[in-house]
A and B are shown apart, each in its own frame.
Chain A
Amino acid sequence: MLGNLKGLMVTFATFFRKPVTYKYPQEHKPIEDRYMGFPVLMWDEKVEEPYCTGCMVCVRYCPTQCMSAVMKDNPLHAEGKSTRRKIVDSFEINLGRCILCGICVDVCNFDAIEMSHEHELSKYARNDNRTNLPRLLEMGRSYQKESGWKPKPVKETKPEPETKTEEAVEAEN
């Protein structure tokens, strides 16, 4: 009897507290800065082109093989506007298969891909989550605007992944 009454007291005390529930579709829980939503591609505003060169390192390391990338010669490089010799031609991430592990972000040598805060991605058709390059860049730009993302200063770009890349290529051969 006493044990039950004690329990009731706890319930009673809660009457005087603020409710903790977020009424989801109307009210959203604030997102933490580090939140890892779906990966998006970043947009270089200085040159007006994507950072991504289509080097396929992320594609190789993705545990679910949910991405694909194609590389092409950069026309802006020929005009002398850009330092990137190669640029991404097409890129696709099947966000329905992405497990949000963040490995692609870790391995990219060009700061081209980031985990955005995007996390609501319900679609009507089964393959609507296969996201192509324009859409990924659009998502990237809105993430850039929202979070004030800046590329890492050149000095800090990790020299190590370069060697890793070679090694990975070796491993493939």
Chain B
Amino acid sequence: MVDLSTEGQLDTVQMMVNMGPQHPSTHGVFRMVLWVDGERIVDLEPHIGYLHRGSEKLCEGELYVQIVTLFDRMDYISNLNNEMIFCRAVERLMGLAVPERAEYIRVILCELNRVASHLLFCGTFGIDAGAMTPIMYAFRDREKIQSMFEAVTGARMMHNYIRIGGVKGDVPDDFSQRMGALLKVLRQGINETDKLLSFSEIFLARTKGIGVIDAETAIAYGMSGPSLRACGVPMDVRKDEPYSVYDRFDFGIPIGEKGDSWDRYYVRVEEMRQSMRIIEQALEQMPDGPTITPSRLVLRPPQGEVYVRGENPRGEIGVYLVSNGADKPYRVKVRPPSFCNLMAIKELLKDTYIADAVVILGSLDIVLGEVDR
């Protein structure tokens, strides 16, 4: 055997590698400055703010009905979840009751949105790990969900459908049948994506045991959602603090074991199945009735402040709303789940190989529109 050790002959020098902001696998415009020693990451510095639009500040200059459109654009992959959280904040502040049917429509659409978001994640995560096929399958199914949204809300992505006090309009007449058909297709599609990717040996080698974080550290960093549940912490706002009508459904919270990239991926796959269970139950229980509590167009919530939280596909999203009784809010603060999850990136990437950086970052499922706001 030839002696390949270079000890005592060569010095290694740390090198700075700039990753992003125009790197396809940073899922937006996110920049990391990596200090590498050969292939190993020694240190890194994340830079955010390339997509900063000042949404929170913009909210202070808009009427309450107009702010919903801003929330649409914050996390542009799970728009309906974001709309819902803002509307809930205003409703709580005003003490506005939401009709039962509207709550069910909201839950159905939000869960559908969760499936769409996770499908996109499965596809892009496959690409991050070097598998090109799954994204085709994921997009095929996501496209069907988008068509469904188009039929209900009128838009494929920026819906502005969930309104303060309810939803914009009732669902179309053939909603239940179409949803039934859609769920069947989705179930098959998710199984296919699952079969294609989850247990492929190459994928397992790229993700198992990569980017491990333990529960305490994850909680200390403020992680939430699937990324935290992958560490084995069954924390889900839908269960812990049921809002809307989530307490009426029977669904499980999938958790992972080790908190590695694969767990973070598979928790999401399982979550899609649970979401579909919720949708099925909601479709069965959905009552008839009005879909919106009429309120004035220029809302003037009473003076006060409120914090509401909910479960976004990426984790716990919270809205802190302060009103001084005017027609525009005094302050809107968002607790964005992907921003908090991204906090742990330094911990996750230290001492890993540079090739794994992309996989680990991808497994956090960040949306830069929400990180930078």
Closest-CB distance, A158 to chain B (whole angstroms): 9
Interface-facing stretch out of B102-110, B147-155, B224-232, B362-370: B147-155
Interface residue ranges of A78-117 to B (CB < 8 Å): 99-103, 106-107, 115
CA distance A169 to B37 in the complex (A): 65
Q: Which of B19-27, B41-49, B193-201, B342-350 contacts A (4 or more CB under 8 A)?
A: B193-201
The 8 Å CB contact of B204, one of A3, A20, A167, is A3
Say yes or no: A6-B66 contact (C-beta < 8 A), given A99-B158, A168-B298: no
B204:A63 contact, CB within 8 angstroms: no
Q: Is B327 at the interface (CB under 8 A from chain A)?
A: yes
Complex Cα gap A84–B297 (Å): 25
Contact with B along A138-158 (1 / 0, CB 8 A): 000000000000000000000
B182 close to chain A: CB less than 8 A: no
Q: A1-B201, A33-B151, A61-B65 are in contact. Are A10 and B195 (CB under 8 A)?
A: yes
Q: How distant is the Cα of A130 from the Cα of B203 in the complex, in angstroms?
A: 50
In this assembly, does A25 line the interface, its C-beta being within 8 Å of a C-beta of chain B?
no
| Beta-carbon contact of A99 and B154 below 8 Å | no
Task: Give the distance to chain A from B248, nearest Cβ to Cβ, in Å.
Answer: 28
Query: How far, in whole Å, are A170 and B120 apart by their CA atoms in the complex?
Result: 46
B8 interface contact, C-beta 8 A: no
Residue A26 at the chain B interface, CB threshold 8 Å = no
**Distance (whole angstroms) from the CB of A28 to the closest CB of chain B:** 13
Cα–Cα distance between A11 and B200 once the two chains are bound (Å): 13
Query: Which interface residue of A99, A115, A164 has the most chain B CB atoms within 10 A?
Result: A99
Known: A4-B202, A6-B199, A171-B327. A35 touches B150 (CB 8 A): yes
Tier of interface size on chain B: 35 or more
Distance in angstroms from A20 CB to nearest chain B CB is 5
Cβ of A159 to closest chain B Cβ, rounded Å: 11
Chain A interface size, as a band, is 20 to 34
Report the nearest B residue to A57, measured CB to CB: B297
Query: Which residue in chain B gives the minimum CB-CB distance to A19?
Result: B140
Q: List chain A positions with a Cβ less than 8 A from chain B.
A: 1-4, 6-7, 9-11, 20, 29, 31-36, 61, 63, 99-103, 106-107, 115, 160-161, 163-164, 167-168, 171
- Beyond contacts A7-B133, A34-B154: 16 other A-B pairs, Cβ-Cβ < 8 A, are A3-B198, A4-B201, A7-B197, A7-B200, A20-B140, A33-B151, A34-B150, A34-B172, A35-B150, A35-B154, A61-B65, A61-B66, A63-B70, A102-B154, A102-B168, A167-B296
Residues on B close to A: CB < 8 A?
62-63, 65-66, 69-70, 133, 137, 140, 143, 147, 150-155, 158, 160, 168, 172, 192, 195-204, 294, 296-298, 327
